[in-house]
Structure 1
Amino acid sequence: MTTAHDLRQLLSRPELVVAPGAYDGMTAKMVEAAGFACVYMTGAGASAARGFPDYGLLSMNEMAEAAGVLARSVGVPVIADADTGYGNELNVTRTVREYEMRGVAGLHIEDQVAPKRCGHLDGKEVIPRDQFVAKIRAALAARRDPAFLVIARTDARAMLGLDEAVERAREALAAGADMVFVEAAQSMEELASIPRRVEGPCLLNIVRGGKTPDLDLATAQEMGYRLAILPSLLIGAAASACEQALSALRSTGQPPSSAHAPGVAERFRRLGAAEWDALRTRFQAAE
């Protein structure tokens, strides 16, 4: 079975599926090692890793390759950010095929005008509803594996209101989308109302410091969400840790204490060194 089938099985269970955001192979492996059954490829993280803000500056090829790095680093399903699909229905078709070819289990495509920007920033614009739904239809038709998950994301809440966002989500589901993602709800009341009003599987984006109020995973499940992504969890923690380490080095003239950090060999072990060590001698001729 493919990881897309594995993801479908996860989503068929009553428990909320939690997918922390990873932005490279190492962080994807960390998510898997921590016991999470799904990894989310954060577009904001992929952009940051290349030195850019989340302004839609990466190409489809760059994003697909970033998703592929995660997918080949872990055995659990990877759900990936595919931004706007990088154009019209033709571009969306190629986007889905490229992501699927790289082993990704599913993706989400949004209705922002390109170049998009982070869903929790001001100044967004969205395309007309019918164009958005057409992109979702194209994405569904493009997948080779019917288990591949197509998630329809709408950013319409920010400029057109929650009613329009809900209607876009409902139309996407009617067109065949497997799940919907209403981005940047602005109150607990809105968060609670979305699964009820949409009447279909909903994704929740948990972003600290964004437009959406903080809530815990238990509350998200009680509200009826099926999947929760945490795109900024690891990149935020990494940025904070790096800043602290650099500050300590700058002020003391020596690296900070690594008493609780893994040593060199342990770091490599976590990255799969044992598999590669075994290959060193496996193919050599017997003496």
Structure 2
Amino acid sequence: MTYLVATSRDARLAGDRFRDMLAGPGILRIPGAFNGLAALQAKQAGFKALYLSGAAMSASMGLPDLGIISKEDVCFFVRQIRRAADLPLVVDGDTGFGGILNAMDMVSSFEDAGAAAVQIEDQELPKKCGHLNDKKLISPEEMAAKIAAASRARKHLCIIARTDAAASEGFEAAVRRAKLYLEAGADAIFPEALTTEDMFRNFAKQVKAPLLANMTEFGKTPYLSASAFESLGYKMIIWPVSALRIAARAQETFYDHVRQHDRADGMLGSMQTRAELYDLIGYADHEALDGSLKKTVVTDAMRGAAAE
């Protein structure tokens, strides 16, 4: 239920709420949500935290994930997701949108928008998806300075340092970078694009910190469950782009159907009904806030029932 009609919202700072979750038992299951509606659906399904992927944001804007979108683009998504679901939100901050000062400004802006945590990676610009070839990294020292600056700039935001070094510099280099980033002030580590269970296990044995596993599809990481990652020593698992991939395929199917059949009612069984949508977004609750609006009558047709 969105912020306009919520009767109770957690008054704690978002970063503090997320730290409490990290301190609790078990692995945090954090699905990606690429807009406010997806965030509401994830909350309705029972998830307690969300992830905002740069790749998902870029794709939803019709752009590749190459560091094209701006800090203000991301803040727009952060605000709508936080307002819609009021769940701790982990935000993909790419490379920090530039150098040290840019990373500090990003942290402040994300906090103001409502983020709980930010992920910063050690790639050069233009950056690439972590599961693609030929990634170029900044030096470990430059990344550590960026992490230290981000940590100094935050009031409550959790800092998650991502390293892409395993693919280009080797596993041990990724471990060394992770330890350096922790010393610089990172709260957690995200080792990107590890390719085997043994690599995940060995990384967790060598890096003593909350670790994030990226369960993205069609990449280099084997498909593992949340419980499997937990047994390997991981505290967080994200499915960053999965919801967008599902939504994109459904939209593609819809457009193909309408083009072929010249009508959409053949796909009613695949649609969320009007009544279901209104219930999800709290339509009646919003109406009740404005006495000038007459309450909408939910009919059988809105529920998807055939008219008699």
What range is the shorter-chain TM-score in? Answer: over 0.9
1:55 match: 66
Alignment of 1:101-112 (within 5 A): 101-112=112-123
1:115 match: 126
> Unaligned regions of 5+ residues in structure 1, if any?
none
- Which residue identity does 1:81 align to in structure 2? D
Shift of 1:64: 2.2
- Match for residue 251 of structure 1 among 249, 260, 272: 260
- Does residue 227 of the first structure (1) align with residue 233 of the second (2)? no
CA distance in 2, matches of 1:174, 1:201: 14
1:178 match: 187
Task: Give the TM-score normalised by structure 1.
Answer: 0.94
Alignment of 1:155-174 (within 5 A): 155-174=164-183
Question: Which structure would you say has the larger Rg?
Answer: 2
Shift of 1:6: 1.6
Question: RMSD between aligned alpha carbons?
Answer: 1.4
- Per-residue CA distance 1:166-221 (angstroms, 9 max, x = gap): 11111111222110001000122112211111121100011111011111111001
2:213 match: 204
> Any idea what SS the aligned residue of 1:170 has?
helix
- Does residue 139 of the first structure (1) align with residue 150 of the second (2)? yes
- Which residue identity does 1:178 align to in structure 2? D
Shift of 1:65: 2.0
Higher mean C-alpha displacement, 191-200 vs 232-241: 191-200
2:18 match: 7
CA distance in 2, matches of 1:67, 1:258: 31
Runs of 4+ in 1 over 4 A off after TM superposition: none
**2:22, 2:210 within 8 Å by CA — same for their partners in 1?**
no
CA distance in 2, matches of 1:18, 1:159: 28
Identity %: 35
How many pairs does the alignment contain? 281
- Per-residue CA distance 1:45-102 (angstroms, 9 max, x = gap): 1001111011111011112222222112112101100000011110111000000001
CA distance in 2, matches of 1:83, 1:180: 14
CA distance in 1, matches of 2:79, 2:44: 19
Shift of 1:275: 2.8
- Per-residue CA distance 1:95-138 (angstroms, 9 max, x = gap): 00000001111111011001111111112100000000000001
